[in-house]
């Protein structure tokens, strides 16, 4: 997801006119470490920890379902109506309720964006699931994105939980270095959302991220290294750690690395050529256990694919991950009714992944 250069020249004039004296007139910038935003469900569900901790990661594509948006290069839609957004969110909420995770990592959840009819999707999903608490770290925030009619955007990563969350921080990831200052000002600011959840006598550090999709300068690699470093630090402190999200990278040993049939974008939105990046996730696989073991994936890639930008083309690459320093059971990519009980293709351009962490 990104912004066109068309219109950005114009935005320079906007910047100079509106609140020119302010350092950050459109509120797009973040500190390197910031507090995250806390949410609580309208009605709390009683939670008694039993058995392993079920966790899910899901890039929900701002509730866009399979509407053909301009950035996918399959259509020209920019904005959704409230009814469209709610209809798509209902499917996502149904999926989450059916999987009944105790912890959910969400990526691309919009809390106040024009493209999603200004609906606070995180609060809505919290209120329409069994989960009680959530924290949010914005990844793309601007009072106005002067490009493509996007207008105001606030979209990012969230962690939802049945149990209270604490020690929550937004850790800024390195910004793309291949953009001019003006583009970068309005562009996405990737982050790691870090929180701690206490389950019975166990304390688990949670790390949710969504790394860069479009960078051509190695920024994504740097972000992945930072993510691995944060997971390692938390693990070295003696905590249980679960980290995951949409890493926009394919596992080592992937058969297909480019020329995906659904990837029709060129230029700024070309994001699906992973040649040269095949080993970027190797350190994570070497140090942590994956919801989908690498051996299983390398034996047969297909059942573990989690992404396709087109509803007409089946999942054809794996971009979504869950890792832990403990032991995962029941790792599953919820691709369809046969694998997860519900067809997830209409809900988002990513399939959710779940696993259960064995706690003592």
Partner 1 sequence: MNGARCTTTGDGLPRLAPRFLVLVPWSRVLVALFSLGIRLGMGETAIASPENIAPRPSPDSARTLAPDTGEVGLISPLRYGAYEGIELSTRVFGALLLPQASAKFHLFGGDPRAQRWSFASRNTLSYPTWFFERIAKEGAGGLLPANTDVPLIVSLRSELMTGRGMGASHELSLSIAAELAPRFTDGRLPLLDFPLLYPRFAASHSTATADIGGAVFGSVWGPIRYHTDLRYYYLPLDTADIAFDGGYAIEQSTTLTWDINSTWSTSVSYLWTHALYPIGTRTHSLPYADVIYRF
* 236 makes contact with partner 1 (CB under 8 A): no
* 112 makes contact with partner 1 (CB under 8 A): yes
| DSSP secondary structure, 193-229, as one string | EEEEEEETTEEEEEEEEE--SS-SSSHHHHHHHHHHH
Least Å distance, CB 71 to partner 1, is 12
Across the strands, what pairs with 135? 38, 159
Tokens of 138: 């914005």
Q: Which is nearer to partner 1, 238 or 267 (CB)?
A: 267
Q: Which is nearer to partner 1, 3 or 102 (CB)?
A: 3
Stretches 2-10, 40-48, 275-283, 338-346: which one binds partner 1 (CB under 8 A)?
2-10
Q: What does the per-residue mask of binding to partner 1 show for 21-60, with x meaning CB under 8 A?
A: x---x-----------------------------------
Helix (H, G, I), strand (E, B), or coil: what is residue 342? coil
Cβ atoms of 201 and 50 closer than 8 Å: no
Q: Which is nearer to partner 1, 10 or 200 (CB)?
A: 10
> According to CB under 8 A, which one of 89, 102, 137, 145 is a site residue for partner 1?
145
* 87 makes contact with partner 1 (CB under 8 A): no
Q: Is the dihedral of CA 67, 68, 70, 71 positive or negative?
A: positive
Tokens of 268: 């700024």
Radius of gyration of the chain (CA): 19
Stretches 6-14, 192-200, 258-266, 291-299: which one binds partner 1 (CB under 8 A)?
6-14
Up-side HSE of residue 111: CA atoms within 13 Å toward CB? 23
Task: Give residues with Cβ within 8 angstroms of 337, minimum separation 6.
Answer: 343
* 76 makes contact with partner 1 (CB under 8 A): yes
Cβ atoms of 241 and 325 closer than 8 Å: yes
* 117 makes contact with partner 1 (CB under 8 A): yes
> According to CB under 8 A, which one of 15, 34, 68, 118 is a site residue for partner 1?
118
Which chain residues interact with partner 1 by CB under 8 A? 4, 6-8, 10-11, 14, 17-21, 25, 76-79, 81-83, 112, 114, 117-120, 143-152, 154
């Amino acid at each position: 997801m990104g912004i066109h250069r068309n219109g950005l020249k114009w935005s320079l004039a906007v910047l100079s006119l509106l609140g020119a004296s302010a350092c950050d007139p459109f509120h797009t910038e973040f500190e390197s470490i910031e507090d995250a935003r806390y949410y609580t469900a309208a009605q709390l569900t009683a939670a008694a920890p039993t058995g392993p901790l079920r966790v899910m990661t899901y890039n929900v594509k701002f509730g866009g379902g399979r509407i053909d948006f301009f950035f996918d290069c399959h259509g020209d839609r920019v904005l959704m109506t409230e009814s469209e957004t709610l209809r798509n969110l209902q499917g996502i909420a149904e999926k989450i309720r059916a999987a009944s995770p105790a912890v959910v990592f969400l990526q691309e959840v919009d809390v106040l964006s024009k493209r999603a009819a200004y609906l606070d999707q995180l609060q809505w999903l919290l209120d329409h699931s069994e989960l009680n608490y959530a924290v949010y770290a914005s990844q793309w925030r601007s009072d106005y994105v002067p490009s493509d009619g996007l207008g105001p955007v606030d979209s990012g990563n969230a962690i939802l939980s049945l149990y209270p969350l604490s020690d929550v921080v937004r850790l800024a990831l390195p910004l793309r270095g291949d953009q001019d200052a003006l583009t970068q000002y309005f562009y996405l600011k990737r982050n790691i959302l870090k929180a701690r959840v206490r389950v019975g006598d166990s304390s688990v550090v949670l790390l949710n991220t969504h790394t860069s999709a479009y960078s051509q300068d190695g920024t994504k690699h740097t972000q992945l290294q930072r993510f691995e470093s944060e997971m390692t630090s938390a693990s070295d402190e003696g905590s249980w750690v679960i980290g995951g999200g949409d890493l926009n990278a394919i596992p080592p040993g992937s058969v297909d690395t480019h020329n995906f049939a659904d990837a029709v974008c060129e230029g700024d939105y070309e994001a699906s050529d992973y040649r040269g990046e095949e080993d970027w996730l190797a350190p994570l696989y070497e140090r942590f256990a994956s919801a989908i073991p690498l051996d299983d994936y390398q034996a047969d890639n297909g059942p573990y694919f989690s992404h396709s930008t087109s509803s007409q083309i089946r999942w054809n690459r794996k971009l979504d991950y869950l890792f832990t320093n403990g032991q995962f059971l029941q790792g599953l990519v919820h691709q369809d009714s046969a694998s997860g009980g519900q067809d997830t293709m209409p809900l988002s351009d990513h399939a959710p992944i779940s696993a259960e962490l064995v706690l003592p």
